[in-house]
Amino acid sequence: MQKEEQLTYTFKYAALTGRIIKCAMAVHSALGNGFQEVIYQRAMGIEMRLDEIHFEREKEMPIHYKGRRIGTRRVDFLVEGIIAVEFKATTKFDNYHINQAMNYLEAYNLEVGLLINFGERSLNFRRLTNKKHKPTASQSSHH
């Protein structure tokens, strides 16, 4: 457990991701598993407002390829303009979900993301770091 605690403190935006995870734990504790994603999204919206965490839900983000916009995709929650939070409500949380969330981080050029699965008996989450992130002027003001 001690090693895991050290990882938490070295993780970028650890305090904010910790608050988001705490909200998710409260939601999972109250609702359990078995609901659709949208139910957890709505409950998380309530919980994060109570904790005064600023977020945009279903935020439409552009997808670029070689400098050209080729489409858009909605991120479940964009927290404080810097953290993408994707929700799942599946009994099987696997590498496909992690890879998909990493692709979104890269496509959005966000450094940090959370993938949270409410579908298991215990809340399951992954903190993700985009190693290909290129800081922009607006993102550097959050450090």
pLDDT of residue 137: 61
The model's pTM is: 0.83
- In DSSP terms, 126 is beta-bridged to 115
Alpha carbons 23 and 94: distance in angstroms, whole number: 22
Which residue ranges make up each domain of the chain? 2-134
* Res. 58: pLDDT tops 70: yes
- Taking only the tens place, the pLDDT of each residue in 90-126 is 988 888 888 888 988 988 889 999 999 999 999 999 9
Token digits of residue 132? 């290909």
**Long-range contacts formed by 136-143: CB under 8 A, 24+ apart:** 136/109, 138/81, 139/81, 139/82, 139/111, 142/13, 142/80, 142/81, 142/82
Q: Is 133's pLDDT higher than 90?
A: no
- pLDDT score of 77 more than 60: yes
